[in-house]
Amino acid sequence: MREKPVVSRFAPSPTGYMHIGNLRTALYSYLIARHGGGKFILRIEDTDRERFVEGATDVIIRTLATTGITYDEGPGVGGEHGPYVQSERKPIYMEYAKKLVDLGAAYYCFCTKERLEQLHEEDATGGYDRHCRDLSPEEVEKNLAEGKPFVIRQKMPLTGTTSYTDSVFGEISVENEELQDQILMKADGYPTYNFCHVVDDYLMGVTHVVRGSEYLTSTPKYVLLYDAYGWERPTYVHLPLLMGKGADGTISKLSKRHGAVSFEDLVADGYLPEAIVNYIALLGWAPKGEMAETEFFTLPELEAAFDIAGVNKSPSVFDFDKLLWFNGEYIKKLDFEHFRRLALPFLKTPLPAGVDTDAALRLLQGRIGKLGEVEEKCAFFRALPEYEPDLFENKKNKVTLDLAKQVLEAALPVLSAVSAWNNDTLYTALLSVAELLACKSGAVMWAVRISVSGMSVTPGGATEIMTVVGREESLARIRIALEKL
């Protein structure tokens, strides 16, 4: 038999922002589809009305668009299996639930809220006591005719085991006696996730169910549904847990307290979408063979290289330092115009008139991890920071306060006389100062750099900084330094 083409899906619940873990699930599912030359579907799972957050679907759609994760079917795109928002599919689920009752794998339950609360009070962990499991067809008919509210529950086998093979975690089994007769259709006529995702995956022809490992142990309940309907089970690909590293080094499930973990927050902080995608592709997957050493992947390269066999089951740790490094590498590789366009919005206000903004940004491009550092790194171009004169002292370059003073006194007239104010002319001018004072050029560069920046660590050297802030400001800063000395 020819293998069916891959159909995978991303089925988020619109309950808030797009967590980096959700994005990884979307990415892996997308890559499995694209790698297999198949189809990728977006489905919005919004049947849990209590957790529904207005606008969350837009965030999901926007995030996928920004990252380049395209889908062949889904909201806004359409397709032969629509609608793709579960709340718009309500009648389908009732029809399939009734079918399941007819097949003997589900039943109507008329237990009142009071009765269930009573049960819970008597035994908080015991679950539902299957009171309605064996109602006679006549009783069911009568209750329905009377308009009694009902739910539909899955009729779990009471003995035996249920197993399935996960592509990542291997064989998973549960004893059926541990399974609760879970609710499939709620009293409000909405299905539970446990039910509708199975119906939808079947109706949408999904061959690969890719999702977080929190669903690993509930999946036996879902395969029982496939079996009851006589549907072919899909291939399951459960992804390893995503962990975060706390300030104290402890590892726990990735959450807000580890930092910005929503895609849009990371972008707002100046991480590039391509860098985020590249980094999270490696959180749970590793290339094999020729590509084993490769770290940098564009999305099309990932589509070609990604393979389920490379997904590992051990938890992956989201490391902000690593992401920052990745991002810095991506920033370095941007052509300057592109970098400029991305970086400018990160300046709170334009740099002062005398400052050469392009020159400033060129200095920063190779020296930042994220665009969010641009404003802070530009602060000393805007205004000379407060500093103490002993900042001039430097052992390595043998600079004393006295030497610094001599350097700056000598440099001031030389720099004032420079005809064209650029890196080369300034460099030559400063070399002549070193010659004049018979000291090392390093000492001159040091003293001048401190005077024009007010900081010991700067992006760029003395001449580069002077080029950015311009002649007048540079000379003014040197005069301020001389007053301090």
Question: Residue 189 has what DSSP assignment?
Answer: S
Tell whether omega for the bond before 300 is within 30 degrees of 0, i.e. cis: no
Cβ 238 to ligand GLU shortest distance, Å = 10
Tell me the CA end-to-end span of the chain in Å, nearest whole number: 86
Closest to ligand GLU by CB, 12 vs 240, is 12
Binding to ligand GLU in span 269-328, by CB under 6 A: none
Cβ 213 to ligand GLU shortest distance, Å = 11
Q: Pick the catalytic residue from 4, 256, 348, 398.
A: 256
Structure tokens at 196: 């509708």
Closest to ligand GLU by CB, 193 vs 231, is 193
- Euclidean distance between CA atoms 413 and 426, whole angstroms: 12
Q: Is 12 in the site for ligand GLU (CB under 6 A)?
A: yes
- Euclidean distance between CA atoms 32 and 69, whole angstroms: 12
Strands, E, within 240-334: which ranges?
242-245, 251-253, 316-318
Residue type, 176: N
Which residues are bridge partners to 40 per DSSP?
8
Closest to ligand GLU by CB, 56 vs 360, is 56
Per CB under 6 A, which region of 11-19, 153-161, 175-183, 306-314 contacts ligand GLU?
11-19
Structure tokens at 445: 């560069």
Closest to ligand GLU by CB, 24 vs 211, is 211
Binding to ligand GLU in span 186-225, by CB under 6 A: 193, 197, 211, 215
Q: Is 11 in the site for ligand GLU (CB under 6 A)?
A: yes
Residue 472's nearest CA partner among 361, 353, 388, 350 is 353
- Euclidean distance between CA atoms 373 and 398, whole angstroms: 32
Q: Is 460 in the site for ligand GLU (CB under 6 A)?
A: no
Tell me the residue number closest to ligand GLU, measured at CB.
211
Per CB under 6 A, which region of 6-14, 77-85, 290-298, 473-481 contacts ligand GLU?
6-14
Dihedral of the alpha carbons of 355, 359, 363, 366, in degrees to the nearest 10: 140
Q: Residue 62 in contact with residue 26, Cβ under 8 Å?
A: no
Per CB under 6 A, which region of 10-18, 287-295, 311-319, 449-457 contacts ligand GLU?
10-18
Q: Is 148 one of the annotated active-site residues of the chain?
A: no
Q: Is 13 in the site for ligand GLU (CB under 6 A)?
A: yes
Per CB under 6 A, which region of 9-17, 272-280, 339-347, 446-454 contacts ligand GLU?
9-17
Please give the residue ranges that form the binding site for ligand GLU (CB under 6 A). 11-13, 45, 193, 197, 211, 215
Catalytic residues: 256
